[in-house]
Structure 1
Amino acid sequence: MVDEREITIERLNAADEDDLYVFESVNRTFFEEMVPTRGEEYYNRDVFQARHKALVEEQRGRTSFYLIRNRERQIVGRINLMCDDTERGDLGYRIGRDFTGMGIAKQALKLLMDKVRLTEIEQVSAKTTSNNIASQKVLEKNGFTCVGHDENRFSMNGEKVNFVYYSWTNG
């Protein structure tokens, strides 16, 4: 298990592009086991570069994209908070295959939520797939409450799954 001294969350910047491309490419198959694919186009280097630049620009607003790094400064995951307005945000995160089961997601989410507590954001929503029990546990251990699930199931990697929705309230 890790503690807050072993990982950091750092806002995404332009200089992260190459390392992030490698991280996403190396972990593609693993990620696609638990979340719908981002599609083949995402891994085209030119497309990735353009999307990376757009994400860095998008942070000028209320949205924040973070890289989770270990002591060695290696990218071990990502965590994002997308905010459409000042009161509500949507959470997303992913941890690389070689770093699962170490408590990194739980700790990174704690670090992010500590930041959120200092803002005027009142509610954060998250969703995961019904087969991603580890993600559900991470959310619940950080104060998120399950608020429902889609009735409609879809096929992902030969398994029928649906989305499970979570919510967290500030204060």
Structure 2
Amino acid sequence: MQLQQLGARHRDAVLDFETVNRDYFAATVPDRGDDFFTDYPARHTALLALQEAGTDRFHVLTADDGTIIGRVNLTHISGGEAEIGYRIARDFAGRGLATEAVRQACHLARSAYGLERLHAATTTDNHGSRTVLLRNGFTVVGETTLGGRPAHLFTRELEP
């Protein structure tokens, strides 16, 4: 498993990853909607522009053969803080890959991007995501809704 920064070369593989896992992801997080898939090439270009501007950092998790098996994103970077979001393909879930990918992303957030704090949110029924966050030192700090569903807010201070 390798966590890599998103690049232009990942465009088609990311679209395939998202398409194959769409129903699986929609069971626990709000669906991205049809436009996400239809307009993905333009979206991918926009993501790379955000990354170049430094407001967001997007990553893909790849298997040894280069297949994308997950994503970890740091978004809305500002004032030393960012939001972290992640997803692992159905066929690779339950193996600790999300926990490890988030651990690596937290390290990158501090060491490569100079961030001091990360925030996350997950629906209350997404027990796997909650476990990943807690195993990585996040604490529950509040409640919200995601796509009209009850959710918890998390935060983690990043050690220097």
Check whether TM > 0.5. Answer: yes
User: Take 1:146 and 1:104, find their aligned partners in 2: how far apart are those partners?
Assistant: 22
CA distance in 1 between counterparts of 2:131 and 2:26 reads 19
The answer to whether structure 1 residue 36 and structure 2 residue 34 are counterparts is no
The residue aligned with 1:55 is: 47
Picking from 70, 78, 82, the partner of 2:75 is 82
TM-score w.r.t. the length of structure 2 is: 0.92
| Secondary structure of the corresponding residue to residue 84 of structure 1 | strand
Which residue, 83, 90, 96 being the options, matches 2:89? Answer: 96
Q: TM-score, normalised by structure 1?
A: 0.86
Contact 1:78/1:94 (<8 A) preserved: yes
CA distance in 2, matches of 1:101, 1:90: 23
Number of the residue aligned with 1:115: 108
Work out the percentage of aligned pairs sharing the same amino acid. 32
CA distance in 2, matches of 1:75, 1:9: 10
CA distance in 1, matches of 2:146, 2:81: 27
Counterpart CA distance in 1 for 2:89 and 2:105 is: 18
Aligned to 1:136: 130
Tell me the alpha carbon deviations over residues 101-143 of structure 1, each in whole angstroms, 9 at most, x when there is no partner.
0110000011111112324312100001111000000000001
2:120 aligned to which of 112, 126, 135: 126
Q: Which runs of 5+ in 2 are unaligned?
A: none
Q: Relative to structure 1, is the Cα distance of residues 154 and 52 closer, same or farther in structure 2, using a 3 angstrom cutoff? A: closer
Structure showing greater Rg: 1
Gaps of 5+ in 1: 1-6, 156-160
State how far apart, in whole Å, the 1-side matches of 2:118 and 2:80 are. 9
**1:141 aligned partner, one-letter code:** R
Q: How many residues align?
A: 157
How far, CA to CA, are the matches of 1:36 and 1:153 in structure 2?
7
RMSD: 1.5
Asked if 1 retains the 8 angstrom alpha-carbon contact of 2:62 and 2:68, the reply is yes
